[in-house]
Amino acid sequence: MAPRRRRSAGALPKAANPAKAVKPAQVEPPATQTAKAGEGLYAALDLGTNSCRMLIARPSGSQFQVVDSFSKAVQLGQGLETYGRLSRSSMSRTVQALQICRRKIEAHGVLQMRLVATEACRRAKNARDFIRYVRRETGLPLEIIPPEEEARLAVISCASLVSPKSEQVLVVDIGGGSTELVWIDLEDVPPGDRARAIMRLSQGFNQPDGPEPAARVVDWISVPLGVATLKDQFADVEDDAARFALMSWFFEEKLADFTPYASGSPQEGFQVIGTSGTVTTVAACHLGLKRYDRNRVDGLTMSSAQIDAVIRSFLQLGPEGRRSDPRIGRDRHTLIMSGAAILQALMRVWPTDQLSVADRGLREGLLYAQMAADGVLEEME
């Protein structure tokens, strides 16, 4: 399947409610969850090819406070590459997870929510039947969003990680079934306003001219290959190292028309921000964390050499070693090498030798977009 893309070069209008970059705090302990049920709470659910994840949060100044969360590997897209349909077993697993989400939403009395599905449901022939099945069994209003909206939501969630020195930014969201890349030009935006300018992209990638200097989306692309779908493409290759190399080069081929500069020449002022379980897992392994710590991972900068060292350690472990390695986790050990192959390809062809790590993504973008639309976030200073 060919990548989906659109070029856009319009400036953006002034946002009605420009908000500070969202950086969700840790989940509140039960003792603090005594506010009136549902008061000011929002829910955001991301149903991807591999995982079902949800956050429930309330606005807090220019940010938001997470009060509950859920994450489960449901493997919704299992078998999709072969049959083009969601299987009964994968749909059943997913509905069971969504029922847990529904119970959490009801327990908190949440009234404002956005629950979205991405690549697996975009591609499956029986996706509409699945959406009706979800509604019948859970009552949840699940919707399928297009690739551009998925990319846009990932971008705005990462705005606070943009360096004031960055004039060109690439935001990469490695999902289970697709990978979204958005290339942003900030050259005309004052350094102190760059995060806020990216937040205005919540209104769309291609906006009419406005009074304020704008972030310009030079190009974006949605490659229909993520950690699950890329793994399935090369499942018949038995040698572990050969499979990894083939996956990485195969993904690089999909970027042939998207790379802005010649490879091998890092450019000053260019920043790559990566958001995904792959990126955060690599970062946590680089830090040697025995227990995952979001505060240490989110915003970390890694060099290409450090990323390569972690990936080499994964290869040295082999499939059995990765399965038993607590740093990788049971839910990710079968997918980490396909994700690493995508990450290595990106670092090979884009003009930087550093990566900014983002422990955030679609759910955070959904929360920001809802709260900004309701005017409940304070403006940036």
pLDDT digits (tens, 9 = 90+) for 127-178: 999 999 999 999 999 999 999 999 999 998 998 899 988 998 999 999 999 9
pTM as predicted: 0.83
DSSP secondary structure string, 91-153?
Answer: HHHHHHHHHHHHHHHHHHT--EEEEEE-HHHHH-TTHHHHHHHHHHHH---EEEPPHHHHHHH
Per-residue pLDDT band for 73 (boundaries 50, 70, 90) equals very high
Q: Residue 130: its pLDDT value, please?
A: 98
- In this chain, the answer to whether the domains covering 19-146 and 149-358 adopt an identical fold is yes
* H helix or E strand, kind and range, residue 69: strand 63-73
Question: What dihedral angle (degrees, nearest 10) is formed by the CA atoms of 153, 195, 173, 152?
Answer: 30
Enumerate the β-bridge partners of residue 358: 275
Per-residue pLDDT band for 21 (boundaries 50, 70, 90) equals very low
Higher-pLDDT residue of 351 and 218 is 218
Q: Describe the strand order of the beta sheet including 179-185 as a list of residue ranges.
A: 4-6, 216-223, 179-185, 168-174, 270-275, 354-358, 301-303
**Is 89 strand, coil or helix?**
helix
Q: Residue 233: its pLDDT value, please?
A: 92
* Contact indicator for 65, 57 with CB cutoff of 8 Å: yes
Among the residue ranges 15-19, 24-28, 36-40, 293-297, the one predicted with the least confidence is 15-19
Domain boundaries, the chain: 19-146, 149-358
Residue 8 pLDDT exceeds 80? no
* Contact indicator for 108, 68 with CB cutoff of 8 Å: yes
Higher-pLDDT residue of 19 and 339 is 339
Over the stretch 27-70, which tens digit does the pLDDT of each residue have?
Answer: 444 434 434 556 699 999 999 999 999 999 999 887 899 999 99
* Contact indicator for 166, 269 with CB cutoff of 8 Å: yes
Out of 3.20.190.10, 3.30.420.40, 3.30.1360.70, 1.10.238.10, the CATH code matching 19-146 is: 3.30.420.40
Averaged pLDDT score across all residues of the chain? 86
Residue 357 pLDDT exceeds 80? yes
Dist. CA 273–CA 275, nearest whole Å: 7
Per-residue pLDDT band for 335 (boundaries 50, 70, 90) equals very high
DSSP secondary structure string, 268-330?
Answer: TTEEEEEESHHHHHHHHHHHT-SS--HHHHTT-EEEHHHHHHHHHHHHHHHHHHHHH-TTT-T
Mean pLDDT across 200-229: 84
* Architecture of the domain whose range is 149-358: 2-Layer Sandwich (3.30)
Residue 17 pLDDT exceeds 60? no
